[in-house]
Structure 1
Amino acid sequence: MNRFVIMTVGKTHSGKTTFANKLEEKLRNAVVVDQDLQAEFINTYYRKLLAEQGPNTIKYAVTKTIVDHAVEQTDCHLIICNSNRGRRGRGELLDYFHGNGFRSIMVTFELPDHVLEERVAASSRSKIIFRSAATFEEVLARQNSESNKGDVIAPAEGEADYLFIIRNEADVEGVIQEIVGIARSLKGGDV
């Protein structure tokens, strides 16, 4: 069977989780790996283990364990649902999956900032996932600032086997159908 890793790339409130969950419903034998779920679990039950500064190593370790298990012990397609905004980190992750026989699909969310600001202002999402921020406004401001730095670069053609761009909500269903079609068209695609 051809296995896929579908990686979402985008700022907070751009629709990554909603997209991933909708895709999981349509792409049989797929599972969403969402670091926000690991962060919520850790912040709820293991907050004392969190470093006060620096990388959230426990969240990354839990996520890595889940991904390694899925890669080594299942035949699932993986939908990696986190921001994945740094080119170096994306590259390392894609190298891992390609080395394990996966085909890669990258879906980047390029919604206008005013849409993200409106979504953040109206958000009722739990803030329990935070370790180093207090609000989603703060997260979005940090992400906008990071966009002006070197490593945070939008995905480009050739970075993954397939690249899709979502610029507005109307693009979501079409991209999902294209991904399902790609999986169907490849011999052994399990959809």
Structure 2
Amino acid sequence: MKRLAILTVGKTHSGKSTFAKKLDKELNHSIIIDQDHHAGFINTHYPTLQPKSGPNTLKHSISKLIVDYAKENTNLHFIVCNSNRSKAGRAYLLNEIYKKDEFIRIIVHFNISYDTLLDRVTQSERNTNILRNASSFKEVLLRQQAEDVIDPDEDEADFFFTISNNDETNEVIRRIVDISNQNC
């Protein structure tokens, strides 16, 4: 029996974490894999181990350990709540970690307007302890806006959804739960 692997894709404050929490409540037997939680843990308890630049290899190692453990010891569905904006990074996750023969792979792309995101980061009270190379979420958004990133498309996964505003969230969650009910 295959499990679901749902990857969220989007910029900071696009609604990925809120979506993941709502989906987790509706989708039986699921776990949220959120690298923001892992970054916060490292920054709180092991700041001297945090890489100063380059890839955050410690955070990625902790995430991989948790995923490997959950894959081997549970039958849970995975809600991968990260930005997942790099096409190469998504390909790695979908082809190496959440393989097609083991998982039904779903991408949920949060395609929220820049003006909406700017408003959200400006008003945000979210803890910045997860940030490594930025002092604010506005700085993170400005960096993300400047990046040359290829948006995901429907050919990358078994199912593909786009959320352009919060009103679409409940429908996408309903459809993912239906996929689970029909296939798992």
Alpha-carbon distance in 2 for matches of 1:76, 1:174: 22
Shift of 1:10: 0.0
**Residue equivalent to 2:59:** 59
**Matches for 1:66-77 after TM superposition, within 5 Å:** 66-77=66-77
1:169 aligned to which of 166, 170, 184 = 166
Task: Name the SS of the counterpart of 1:21 in structure 2.
Answer: helix
Q: Distance in 1 between matches of 2:52 and 2:101?
A: 34
| 1:21 aligned residue | 21
Q: Quick one: percent identity of the two aligned structures?
A: 46
User: Displacement of 1:2 after TM fit?
Assistant: 2.3
Q: 1:169 is matched by which residue type in structure 2?
A: N
Q: TM-score if structure 2 supplies the norm length?
A: 0.97
Match of 1:130 in 2: 131
* 1:138 alignment partner AA: E
Q: Name the residue aligned to 1:145.
A: 146
Pair 109,53 (structure 1): closer, same or farther in 2 beyond 3 Å: same
Name the CA distance, whole Å, in 2 between partners of 1:11 and 1:41: 21
Counterpart selection for 2:181 from 176, 180, 184: 184
5+ residue gaps, structure 2: none
Q: What corresponds to 1:30 in structure 2?
A: 30
Alpha-carbon distance, 1:138 to partner: 0.4
Task: Provide the secondary structure at the position in 1 that maps to 2:106.
Answer: strand
Runs of 4+ in 1 over 4 A off after TM superposition: none
- Structure 1 equivalent of residue 111 of structure 2: 110
Equivalenced residue count is 183
The 2-side partners of 1:166 and 1:131 are apart by 28
Cα drift, residue 44 of structure 1: 0.1
Q: Does structure 2 retain, via aligned residues, the 8 Å contact 1:7–1:105?
A: yes
Tell me the amino acid that sits aligned with residue 180 of structure 1.
V
Task: Return the alpha-carbon distance in structure 2 between the equivalents of residues 104 and 26 of structure 1.
Answer: 18
Say whether the 8 Å CA contact 1:71–1:100 is kept in structure 2. no
1:24-77 per-position Cα deviation (integer Å, ceiling 9, x unaligned): 000000000000000000000000001211111100000010011111111100
Q: Look up the equivalent residue of 2:51 and give its one-letter code.
A: A
User: 2:12 is paired with a residue of what secondary structure?
Assistant: coil
SS at match of 1:103: strand
Q: Does structure 2 retain, via aligned residues, the 8 Å contact 1:29–1:76?
A: yes
In 2, the alpha carbon distance for the partners of 1:112 and 1:156 equals 18
Structure 2 SS opposite 1:54: coil
In 1, distance between residues paired with 2:104 and 2:182? Answer: 13
Secondary structure of the 2:128 match is coil
Query: Equivalent residue of 1:124, what SS?
Result: coil
TM-score if structure 1 supplies the norm length?
A: 0.94
